[in-house]
Amino acid sequence: MKLKPTLRFIMGDISIKIIPLYYLASICLYSALYFTGDTSGLAAPDVFGSLLASSFFLIFVLTAMTANRSLRFLVQVGISRDTIIVANLLRAVILSAAISMADRLLSLYMTFLTGGFSQKYIDPVTEFGVSDSCFPYYLLFEFSLGFGCILFMILLALFCSMIWIRLKLLYKLLFLILSLFIVIIYTDTYYGIDFIAESVGYDPLMTAVVIFVFFFGSALISYILSARRVPVRD
């Protein structure tokens, strides 16, 4: 299997080089907003939400630019579908993890700019106002939100690949529904893992694992089965 050159080829696409530029531009933009005194739009939760939205868009555009182009060239030079699928899966995982992590770091930077790490509260003993620092790593590695985002982005990346390599509408819809399910379950605090775990009477972690295996596994299998036979666009 010529996996290494294939992965290197699809990761080395010119569009991938947009990612660092995108984050550099984001940092410059938010810093400019901060230094011009306009911090109203920089509240951490809002920023994180908009970061996610723009990252999804970024993944969509990146995949749109590369998926079909890569597929055509790789097929032309004699790379099998199996190799292309495995390389695309790895690419989706690497890109999604990198983008999710970059989003969290950018969000931390925003939080730092807006002073969000310092929380003021009244000391019950002295009754004076006291500032305390949040532990930023908690925000970075907090389980459900970050995990949900990574999963969702992986699915989105694969979904985009499917769109651009002309799969059947049924597969596309299935993927979209599964992606939405996953993001709701892993990120929504009300209808999320805790709610489902409580409803079925299981441990929340076990519930999360079962849901992950079921939805994510079925999404991957449907991707692999369908992508294996998709025709190359002339």
User: Where does this chain bind other proteins (CB under 8 A)?
Assistant: 1-2, 5-6, 9, 69, 72-83, 228-229, 231-232, 234
Rg (CA), the chain: 21
For the record, the structure tokens of 69 come out as 């182009």
Nearer to other proteins, 8 or 57 (CB): 8
- Distance of closest approach, residue 75 Cβ to other proteins, in angstroms: 6
- Distance of closest approach, residue 14 Cβ to other proteins, in angstroms: 10
Nearer to other proteins, 74 or 151 (CB): 74
Nearer to other proteins, 84 or 182 (CB): 84
Nearer to other proteins, 24 or 77 (CB): 77
- Distance of closest approach, residue 4 Cβ to other proteins, in angstroms: 11
- Distance of closest approach, residue 233 Cβ to other proteins, in angstroms: 8
